[in-house]
Amino acid sequence: MPRLKARFDRLSHLFLPLSVLVILLLINLIKGADYFKITMVNRVLYGNIPNILFGASELVILSIGMTLVTAAARGQDISIGESGAISSAIFVQYVLNAGEVTIWTILVGLLISCVAGIVIGAFNGTLVSFFNVQPMVATLILFLGGRSIAFIIDGKVSPILANPISNQIGTVIKGVPIQTPIILTAVFIVIVSVVLKVTNLRLYVEAVGINPNTARLNGINPKRVIFLTFLLMGICSAVAGFIAVNKVGRHDSVNLLKFIMMDAILAVALGGNSLSGGKFSITGSIIGAYTIEVLNRTLLRLEVNPEAIKAFKAVFIIILMVLASPVVRVYAKKVMDKAKAFVAGKAARQTGRLKKAVVSITDSSVKKEE
């Protein structure tokens, strides 16, 4: 029982994102019974579910990095879209100037873009961890100027990735039935899971997020941990930018990953993570990211005007945030405790009546025998 209760407590934070996801899927199912239908076109799987997994690839990866930053720094990085734009611009320029494009050219370009992402993360991390600048203020610098930097790297144009390898990375690899961005996202999730499993990263991040002073007394350097999470956020931004630019086949420094940081922050919150830091759940953030993608596609499927989608989404977010707020959670806990007490009391009363009935029957039997 204690193990079962502990497992339930660990999974309870997933109730909200899973509930919302199920409700959205049911709405789509009511809209059309063929919602879960998956077809094979040119030996590739297509349908609503594969499209959701494909469309949410960048958001899932960015949500993972945002979760770590939020948990340790107790704030958010609002420059992740701009970081992705800069690192992907460097990737595109390398590929275009490399001559013949091979798989090794793409891999080296990805590595270089990840290094660029790490440099950007180091810039933000230095401001936050060593100069104690609030995360949102520190990352506001690149939020305002990042796309201008990407535009300069592009050479004031929108360069096109006109090569078959980039096209396969952004769509499908010949002979593979699953779209490549879905595979890359799954691989990234597995890598992060392994890192969290075999290292003390989770312990250090949660310790610093809960109480940095206590963490310091226990031999953990809060500044280094926060700095590390921003480096990881830089890698996440680079990988997301790599996937995004290969999807569209060209680099648009103005619109690539534009405003995606809002969805990433929402995914973290929707996943049951506290935006004030501390304990975190990567699984919750991933589910939150896919839930947001389902929400976007559901509104389109319900024929909501594209200009009005943001308004509907804002109302939806308000409802979610109210339901997930500490006030509502405390009230819900009180209601649940009262319900449990009522059920326990009723069961006790029924047990008492049953005992009295047994005693009465026993006494009657004894009197008859006498």
Per-residue pLDDT of the chain (370 residues; tens, 9 = 90+): 555 554 555 566 787 788 888 888 999 998 888 888 999 888 899 999 999 999 999 999 999 999 999 999 999 999 999 999 999 999 999 999 988 899 999 999 999 999 999 999 999 999 999 999 999 999 999 999 999 999 999 988 889 998 999 999 999 998 899 999 999 999 999 999 999 999 999 999 999 999 999 999 999 999 999 999 999 999 999 999 999 999 999 999 999 999 899 999 989 988 888 888 899 999 999 999 999 999 989 888 888 887 787 787 778 777 777 776 678 777 877 887 787 777 777 766 776 666 666 556 665 655 555 5
**Distance between CA atoms of residues 101 and 92, nearest Å:** 11
CB 56 within 8 A of CB 232: no
pTM value is 0.88
CATH code of 17-324, in short, is 1.10.3470
CB 272 within 8 A of CB 324: yes
CB 113 within 8 A of CB 241: yes
Residue 160: DSSP 8-state: B
CB 53 within 8 A of CB 307: no
Beta bridge partners of 45: 40
**Distance between CA atoms of residues 71 and 75, nearest Å:** 8
* Sign of the alpha-carbon torsion through 64, 68, 74, 78: negative
**Distance between CA atoms of residues 57 and 45, nearest Å:** 16
Domain boundaries, the chain: 17-324, 334-370
Q: What is the secondary structure of 73-89 as a DSSP string? A: HSS--TTHHHHHHHHHH
